[in-house]
């Protein structure tokens, strides 16, 4: 199972890239564990998770080819 994870704002800056590819993640809970392990600095930031452009809950399942986005708070003007 291949998941594309898009990063925005401060999360992209922290990771040094705007896209992550991850294998074998079956749920948002597994995604959060993966992020915590591989990107520990993200714990300093709040973000929401969307799957295929829809906000997702923690127990939502992931499918092969899903596009996940980690969305930090945005400011506009």
Q: Which helix (H) or strand (E) holds 59?
A: none
* pTM (two decimals): 0.89
What CATH code is assigned to 2-71? 3.10.20.30
Beta strands in 1-77 (DSSP E): 2-7, 19-23, 48-51, 54-55, 67-71
* Amino acid 34: pLDDT: 96
* Amino acid 9: pLDDT: 94
CA distances, 45 to each of 2, 24, 50, 66 (Å): 25, 25, 16, 23
pLDDT in tens, the chain (77 residues): 899 999 999 999 999 999 999 999 999 999 999 999 999 999 999 999 999 999 998 889 999 999 999 999 876 54
* Amino acid 75: pLDDT: 60
């Amino acid at each position: 199972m291949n998941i594309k994870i898009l990063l925005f704002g401060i999360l992209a800056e922290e990771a040094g890239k705007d896209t992550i590819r991850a294998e074998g993640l079956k749920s948002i809970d597994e995604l959060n564990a993966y992020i915590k392990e591989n990107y520990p600095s993200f714990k300093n930031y709040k973000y929401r998770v969307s799957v295929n452009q829809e906000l997702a809950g923690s127990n939502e399942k992931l499918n092969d080819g899903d596009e996940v986005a980690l969305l930090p708070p945005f400011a506009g003007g």
